[in-house]
Chain A
């Protein structure tokens, strides 16, 4: 079974976000980058499927600046077999979802796969778009926000979460799926894995050479910090809290 996992390099979850003077990017200097957490669930699932199947390979793919190579190395260290790096000149927020989807689709041209995995969302733009965008551009079915998965031969059965419940979805390979927490517990790369990763092949493609119009349809005009929350106060007793809820904000 051949599986491709798209992953994105993002700032660590504890990063203090500061807006760059341009107003269109954040300050990237000194930030610790990680593989977007949801993508780790996708990698883990892909590795397990490959190993359970006994054949095939897992390829990790990213679209991003030169530094994004580290994210690919993390995927390789977890156990992926090879990597594809679509190298962009744009700052990470400078490409919109649709342009990125076109680059991913183009990079996959001529590559065969049974499953294309992504994360539910990248925790920088939190767009939750890429899975559906690429599935449509490739004209394959999709199952997003998967928390349980069975693959038998060509048959896929997955649980995806909806408000207050789950949907059971069935389809045939090839398919695109997006992974989320609950699907598995991602492994940590072993020392051996990290060393091996350095020798695994990484194919590099320059985004600018791919003939794709990268002008965004969704344009970041400016960025702002979220409005500060109005100051709160410490209440001294349950009675005071009950009074506040019933008389001040009247939510009860």
Chain B
């Protein structure tokens, strides 16, 4: 079984999703795993892909590939698929992966399963589990095309430890045919919000605040706890719509879907549309004054208390516990 994984980088480093894809590929029992590394000046990252399980790394280096663009990256992945003829191509269901993978699905006329939670091979075809209706149901799907394309939801596959003794064969992919006119939608700048600020969608711990916090000035309680935990900050739609928090923080059906190890919901009632975005978190902590709040139904640990009283105490005590 030949597998191609499309690695993702951010600020000259490999993103964790790339290692998740490599772990998923080896879990399928394949030993023929090629990682595609796309960018400008990214070749130095190739050995690390080997440590995480790639048997081969293809490096697609080009000035025009410095930033992600749909058409530039589609061209590069298509080149790799043409040269390798893989049975399976794995993408991360990240912002860019979700933009890219379907473009390839149409170009190759190949089936794509997006946002998969699990992936197996049943001896004759690839079968995956993916959520429908915001996770209220799961579908077991099979893919009737070769290659099969799958984007995996970030944070669901656990990463196998790196082994520095493993090395991949590294070669260059020919992307010399790429020219500026092929990229019709051009990326003119990339703006990161707040240096080092974690995004809710990729953080391992998320601390979210809701309307019960009464005003934007009180979100320092959320930020302080997030800082101690090394967490990203999230929000309910009620507080985003009120203008207290930026859109990028909204968790839920019309915001982001998150699957962190720990999700802390503070003064959030737990409306169906909010839970749609966070109920697949491994552990959930809920802090709410209302013992009947629906959020407690999904909470691993619930604390019926006033967030204004307990958040400072919790932050201090966790800080002390961390030493």
Contacts and interface: CB of A to CB of B under 8 A. Distances in A.
Given A126-B131, A230-B300, A241-B301, A251 B106 contact: no
Interface stretch (B19-27, B58-66, B215-223, B309-317): B309-317
Q: Secondary structure at chain B's binding surface: helix, strand, loop or mixed?
A: mixed
Given A163-B199, A241-B314, A141 B71 contact: yes
A37 B143 CA distance: 28
B314 A235 contact: no
3 pairs of A and B residues whose beta carbons are closest in the complex: A217-B111, A136-B106, A132-B102
Interface centre among A133, A175, A224 (most CB of B within 10 A): A133
A219 B303 contact: no
A219 B141 contact: yes
Q: Secondary structure at chain A's binding surface: helix, strand, loop or mixed?
A: mixed
B273 interface: yes
A132 B199 contact: no
Contact of B302 (A128, A130, A160, A233): A233
B105 A129 contact: yes
A252 B318 contact: yes
A230 B87 CA distance: 37
Contact of B137 (A131, A141, A147, A223): A223
Contact of A221 (B112, B142, B296): B142
A110 interface: no
Interface size class of A (residues with CB under 8 A): 35 or more
A171 B180 CA distance: 12
B133 A128 contact: no
Contacts of A215: 144
Contacts of B136: 15-17, 226
A143 B183 CA distance: 12
Interface string B131-162: 11111111111111100000000000000000
Interface string A131-152: 1111111001111110100000
B37 interface: no
A123 interface: yes
Contacts of B164: none
A140 B187 CA distance: 16
Interface stretch (B44-52, B171-179, B249-257): B249-257
B109 A169 contact: no
Given A137-B106, A249-B300, A252-B229, A222 B137 contact: no
B304 interface: yes
Given A127-B114, A229-B279, A167 B70 contact: no
B193 interface: yes
Interface string A190-228: 000000000000000000000000011111111111100
A159 to B, nearest CB: 8
B186 interface: yes
Interface residues of B, number: 93
B286 to A, nearest CB: 8
13 contacts: A17-B137, A98-B105, A123-B253, A125-B132, A126-B132, A141-B185, A162-B95, A169-B187, A215-B144, A220-B141, A221-B142, A235-B303, A249-B283
A26 B137 CA distance: 9
A183 B199 CA distance: 20
Contact of A223 (B139, B254, B291): B139
B96 A162 contact: yes
A17 B137 CA distance: 7
A230 B284 CA distance: 11
B189 A163 contact: no
B302 A143 contact: no
A235 B303 CA distance: 5
Interface string B81-101: 000000000000111101111
Nearest to A37: B254
A223 B133 CA distance: 12
A15 B133 contact: yes
Nearest to A129: B102
B190 A164 contact: no
A238 B98 contact: no
B115 A128 contact: yes
Contacts of A143: 185
A144 B321 CA distance: 43
Interface centre among A101, A137, A163, A252 (most CB of B within 10 A): A163
A27 to B, nearest CB: 11
A37 B74 CA distance: 29
A216 B100 CA distance: 20
Interface string A69-95: 000000000000000000000000100
